[in-house]
Structure 1
Amino acid sequence: MIVDLRSDTITKPTPGMLDAMMSAKVGDDVFGEDETVNALEEKLANIFGMEAGMFCPSGTMTNQIAIKCFTHPLDELIADQTAHVYRYEGGGIAFNSAVSTRLLNGPRGILTAEMIEPEINPENIHFPDTSLVVLENTVNKGGGSCYTLNNIAPIASLCKKNDLKLHLDGARIFNALAHTGDSAKSYGQYFDGISVCLSKGLGAPVGSVLLADKATLKYARRIRKVLGGGMRQAGFLAAAGIYALDHHVERLKIDHAHTQILATELAALPWVSNVLPAETNIVLFDTIEPADTVTAKLAAKGIKANSTDKHRIRFVLHLDIHADQVEYLVSVLKSL
């Protein structure tokens, strides 16, 4: 048995999703004529209470476009030191936008208004202009930790008071919503931009959508074109996103239940020294042996997992992991 827990990006389209993709009505999206892309963008904008959306190949592209739209060269953005936009997007903040980054150290990647406020630069020729705050929900390096709307509201208020833009890297936003029970539609009142990834927990093969107001997205489409993200008959891919939104959101709770099982079992094992709180579909745990030694033992049993530090391993649950695979994984973990 193979159990692939490296990421929720490794899922394959379901038969129903493939059918939806193959029957999609398409046109040229750069001309705005792909009706399936248009339908996906409108659908997500309505879900999150935003004006409009723009389909892109990846979450990295939507995040980088948003940063470009919400800053000017020599500005500075504020983010947690674990943020995907900083750690895992190839230095794109500096390369694409000529913007510096003020890094904070939130508990499991979660920032507060009280942490952010003293880091906003005063207007002074010696300092970059602080112009943007970026949040991530869920926080990958935080083990799938979540912001609630109650956490977000004071940050949004602080940003508005200081004329800062607020962007959400919503790579796993639907996992966060499944955990918190918050309303997606409420997000639009707080954020200037939201990146929604369709190719992680929702199981689409490709794609993220940047949500914002129409004026921002007019400029964003120009940036998307410059970055090479102007796809043509992209409706075949957008159809997978629509199918995922219609069929794969509610089932995220299954992944979360599997996560809870694994976190409980790991906490009882003598070779595991610590398990981070598991809120959504990610389990981070620390091992007494080097993590690479443990992942090699797991690989020998057909279990694929990544180490994220010298003694830390990450399991990511997704729609291609079923109850029998979780049961098998638990038996292997107990045997190590």
Structure 2
Amino acid sequence: MTYTPPPRDPKAAPIRINLLSDTQTRPTPAMREAIARAEVGDEQIGDDPTVNLLCERVADLLGKEAAVFLPSGTMCNVAATLVHCRPGDEILAHETAHIIAREGGAHAALGGFQIMPLSGADGQFSPDAFRKALHPRTRYQPPQTLVSVEQTANIGGGTIWKKAELDEVVKIAKANGLATHMDGARLLNATVATGITAHDMAAGWDSAWIDFSKGLGAPVGAVIAGSRDFIDEVWRWKQRLGGSMRQAGICAAACVYALDHHVDRLADDHANARALARGLAQIAGIEVQEPETNLVFFTPDGTGVSGEKMVAALRQRGVLLAMMDGRIRACTHLDVTAAMIEETVGMVREIVRKA
């Protein structure tokens, strides 16, 4: 399930269109100016005003009591499970969730947790599947202490959990004594696409976080929010994991800038993803999953060109995509324009025609 871009070919054209991931974004000139102007202090002792401002804003955005700035979304997930669970506990999540497929076994290695993978279409499990996976609390089975969802569901195609489904999962969890965690790496993509606020989307979830290094275009950082007691414990794990920083305001300033300038524009990425999907779907032999946000998954096998060969051929032309879970994934972001989408579709059409 890992990203598998082709090996670098010295004869390939320079990368001009980067659809590998929204992590590929570069800070805009205005964001760089905000970084340069950042007021800073020692973040580790709570003395960086820009970091403090960012955490206050994210806590308010998600409707939580407090928040903490971490270097990455993976650390948000790891720290959250280390607070919510104890060694030997069981976490329930979709079988393609980031905590299972993308975090190097950190939850088992660092916390001694096992994760029960739940199946379901488009990267989401149903409330009924969650309910059926619960077992009685006996000494023969691991305590089930946490349920985690990923909003949006990456491997599912960037799909959006419906608010009613999220609420039902929370209701079942609380009735059975489980804590709730939302991996919100692309949560703001979901809020922009649906019009539902992040506050409402995260309501009922004990912990939730947003990533700034994806569609929001910052170079680094994520912020996790929850109750004050929860965040106090996250801080302890942040210290243990080496995530405490010093003058981190230079990083947080980019995130504050992103909140002010890069949220509403996520709609442009969604429009570009839809345009890419429409263009690809018009090419005979290509199957495309209709995008809900900024991720486009497709398979060209019906054209006589395998996914691997298509990715390699596009790389030769200066377009970077990835194979993921047997499909090609294209990700739109603030460095991708409508003209680039049109050009990419044209290249795919040319590759298929020549084949």
Whether TM-score is above 0.5 comes out as yes
Partner of 1:277: 290
Measured after TM superposition, the shift of residue 41 of structure 1 is: 0.3
SS at match of 2:160: coil
Counterpart residue number, 2:259: 245
Question: SS at 1:9's partner residue?
Answer: helix
Instruction: Check conservation: 1:52, 1:213, Cα contact below 8 A.
Output: yes
- Name which of structure 1's ranges 16-25 and 179-188 shifts more when overlaid on structure 2: 179-188
Q: CA deviation at 1:271?
A: 3.7
Given the superposition, is the C-alpha separation of residues 265 and 188 from structure 1 closer, same or farther in structure 2, using an over 3 Å criterion? closer
Question: Matched residue of 1:33: which SS?
Answer: coil
SS at 2:263 equivalent: coil
TM-score (norm 2): 0.92
Partner of 1:146: 160
Runs of 4+ in 1 over 4 A off after TM superposition: none
Residue number in structure 2 paired with 1:2: 16
Q: Residues 231-259 of structure 1, C-alpha deviation per residue, up to 9 Å, x if partnerless?
A: 11000000000000100000000000000
Matched, 1:64 2:78: yes
Q: Which residue of 2 aligns with 1:184?
A: 198
| Range with greater deviation from structure 2 (325-334 or 259-268) | 325-334
Distance in 1 between residues matched to 2:325 and 2:73, nearest whole Å: 24
1:287 is the counterpart of 2:300 = yes
Q: Distance in 1 between matches of 2:270 and 2:181?
A: 26
Q: Give 3-state SS (helix, strand or coil) of 2:27's partner.
A: coil
- Distance in 1 between residues matched to 2:309 and 2:214, nearest whole Å: 27
- Contact residue 186 and residue 211 of structure 2 kept, 8 A: yes
Determine the structure 1 residue equivalent to 2:7: none
Q: Relative to structure 1, is the Cα distance of residues 116 and 203 closer, same or farther in structure 2, using a 3 angstrom cutoff?
A: same
Aligned pairs (5 A) from 1:104-123: 104-123=118-137
Asked whether the equivalents of residues 66 and 220 of structure 1 are also in contact (C-alpha less than 8 Å), the reply is: yes
Distance in 1, matches of 2:297 and 2:318, equals: 19
Unpaired segments of 5 or more residues in structure 2? 1-14
Residues 184-263 of structure 1 mapped to structure 2, 5 A cutoff: 184-263=198-277
CA pair 80-188 structure 1, distance change in 2 beyond 3 A: closer
Counterpart amino acid of 2:349?
A: K
Structure 1 residue 309, shift from structure 2 partner: 3.6
Residue 318 of structure 2 corresponds to residue 321 of structure 1 = no
* Shift of residue 64, structure 1, vs aligned partner: 0.5
How much has 1:120 moved relative to structure 2? 1.4
1:50 and 1:188, CA in 2 relative to 1: closer, same or farther beyond 3 A? Answer: farther
Unpaired runs of 5+ in structure 1? none
Question: What SS is found at the alignment partner of 2:91?
Answer: strand
Contact 2:285 2:300 in 1 (8 A): yes
Q: CA RMSD in A?
A: 1.0
CA drift of 1:173 comes to 0.4
Pairwise CA distance, 1:330: 1.8
Contact 1:291 1:309 in 2 (8 A): no
Task: Verify the 8 A CA contact 1:27 1:33 in the aligned structure 2.
Answer: yes
Counterpart pick for 1:54 among 68, 73, 94: 68
Structure 1 stretch displaced more, 50-59 or 174-183 = 174-183
* Cα distance between partner residues in 1 of 2:207 and 2:129: 21
Report matched runs for 1:21-60 at 5 Å. 21-60=35-74
How far residue 188 of structure 1 moved from its aligned partner, in angstroms, is 4.4
| CA distance in structure 2 between the aligned counterparts of 1:250 and 1:172, rounded to whole angstroms | 13
Aligned partner of residue 23 in structure 2, secondary structure: coil
